[in-house]
Every structure is written in structure tokens, then in C-alpha cells.
Amino acid sequence: MSAVYVRIGEYRSKYHSDVDCPSLNGKQHTYMGQESMAEDKAKEQCLAACQHCKR
Ligand SMILES: [Zn+2]
């Protein structure tokens, strides 16, 4: 099972496979950090795969 990265806070709807994804690190005014979790866990939280990340 692979780990993915999500933003911390309420402004998140996607999970990212690339820790350097611009969508993961952008919007600094709402950025509160990021955390990693299993991909299955991200899906449980209704997060969708980021289209910018390339596996
Ligand atoms: Zn991404």
C-alpha cells in the first residue's frame, strides 16, 4: 500500500502522490502543513487523486 500526501486544514479535496506537487504546497495563506497517510485512508475521507501528480 502506498502513502499519499494531503494538506492539513479544511482546504483540501485531493490527495497527492508527489510530495512536491504545486497543488499540495501552494496557496500559502491557507497552508497549514501537510501529512501523509495510506491511500486507502485518503479515499475514506472522500479525497480524490490529484490530476497533477504523476505516478
Ligand atoms: Zn498533486
Instruction: Please check whether residue 16 is in contact with residue 5, taking contact to mean a CB–CB distance below 8 angstroms.
Output: yes
Q: Is 15 helix (H, G, I), strand (E, B) or coil?
A: strand
What percentage of the chain exceeds 90 in pLDDT?
62
Instruction: Please check whether residue 13 is in contact with residue 47, taking contact to mean a CB–CB distance below 8 angstroms.
Output: yes
Distance 42 CA to ligand 1 centre (A): 13
pLDDT per position as a tens digit, 8-40: 987 689 999 999 998 888 877 777 899 999 999
Task: Please list all protein residues whose beta carbon sits less than 5 angstroms from ligand 1, which is an ion.
Answer: 16, 21, 23, 50, 52-53
Distance 53 CA to ligand 1 centre (A): 4
